[in-house]
Structure 1
Amino acid sequence: MHDCQFDAFHLEVRDTYAVPSESEELRRFLNGEPPTVDYSSRPWVEAIRDTTARGVTVRRVRVLSVPHSDYQRWLLSITGGNVDAGEDIRYLPRHLADKVPADDWWIYDDARVAFNLVDGGGKPDGMALTSDPAIVDHCRAVRDRLWQQAIPFADYVTGTHARP
């Protein structure tokens, strides 16, 4: 995201992610224990703050199953820090979504797509970057369609949207 000029968009379609650095905080959440970190000062939140301060729009749609997985419940509990830092995050219940891709990806400046790769256990396994115009156009169309369907974070967590 550091070389992004005007727009970064992230599509997330998995109900759970096996991110080793998150496992302890997720465990604590599930056991009702307080977090050991201040989520508002995580490196990712700082990166969002820095990126949006440069004038870059950072957006994300999370397509998720209802009822929520434990992982998604945890994410909902910490996403406010991302939003406060300037990231516009929206939620789309899977059963309301139309034609959701199987993969997570980023689209940067409407010119590059970075697919998030995962191994068989769901752990992050790198990125695959392309600027192929057909792939970029496809991802842009998916982004625009899902963005319109998705519910802003604040409305989603307060239930002020139409119930699925």
Structure 2
Amino acid sequence: MVLVTAEQRDELFSTFKKDAFHLELQDEYRVSIEDGPYAKWRKGEPDDFAWFRPWLDQTHTLTAAGKSIRRVRIVTEPVSEYIRWELELTPMNHEAGEEIRWLPRQHIQDGFNFPASGNDWWLFDGETLAVTHFRPDGRFEGAEIITDPTMVEHAVRVRDQLWSLAIPYNEYTS
């Protein structure tokens, strides 16, 4: 398995044509750029969201050009403190044009077959799968780029199924 950097994976955002979909399965993430803002939030301190602005600007540019960016967050209830923080950030994602839905883990049938061994992934245009691999400490290790048609078709089916089950962000209450 060959892993690429986050920057190499993120190049797919400049080349996808129509739809980028992200499946998130973790109840907590350890992302370096979020460490400081998350710590501030936990202390009740204000945030200027400068760290978040590049993602929001990119999302706005892409969606204004007619492209779709969607995300399903599968969460354990009651939600973790980290997920509560994400819930508070979600209106900014939405305002930038990203559609986010939430799916309580208990709404997924036992034995549901997630592609990519249950790792998070991005699916670009129903053609390219970028599977996230994490280190034991929860930090990003790398992304595996997959174009195998069988694996991608499985991801497309899962995306469609989960999207139809998930709750739009403004209707979800934890």
* TM beyond 0.5: yes
Q: Equivalent residue of 1:155, what SS?
A: coil
Which stretches of structure 1, 4 residues or longer, exceed 3 Å deviation after superposition?
Answer: none
Unaligned runs of 5+ in 2: 1-12
Quick one: distance in 2 between partners of 1:24 and 1:18?
A: 11
Q: Using the TM superposition, give the Cα deviation of residue 32 of structure 1 relative to its aligned residue in structure 2, in angstroms.
A: 1.4
User: What is the percent sequence identity of the aligned residues?
Assistant: 38
- TM-score, normalising length: structure 2: 0.85
Residue 88 of structure 1 is aligned with which of 94, 99, 121?
Answer: 99
CA apart distance, 1:36: 3.8
Deviation string, structure 1 residues 23-59 (Cα, Å, up to 9, x no partner): 11111111111114257x6111111111112211111
Scaled by the length of structure 1, the TM-score of the pair is 0.90
Deviation at 1:100, TM superposition (A): 6.2
Cα deviation, 1:96-121, whole Å, max 9, x if unaligned, reads 12326321001101111000121111
Report 1:1-164 matches (<5 A). 1-38=13-50, 42-98=53-109, 99=112, 101=114, 102-156=118-172, 159=173
SS of residue matched to 1:154 = coil
* Letter in structure 1 aligned against 2:56: V
Aligned length: 157
Gap runs ≥5 in structure 1 = none
User: Contact (CA 8 Å) 1:25, 1:36: kept in 2 or not?
Assistant: no
Between 117-126 and 85-94, the greater mean CA deviation after superposition = 117-126
Between the aligned partners of 2:74 and 2:105, the Cα distance in structure 1 is 6
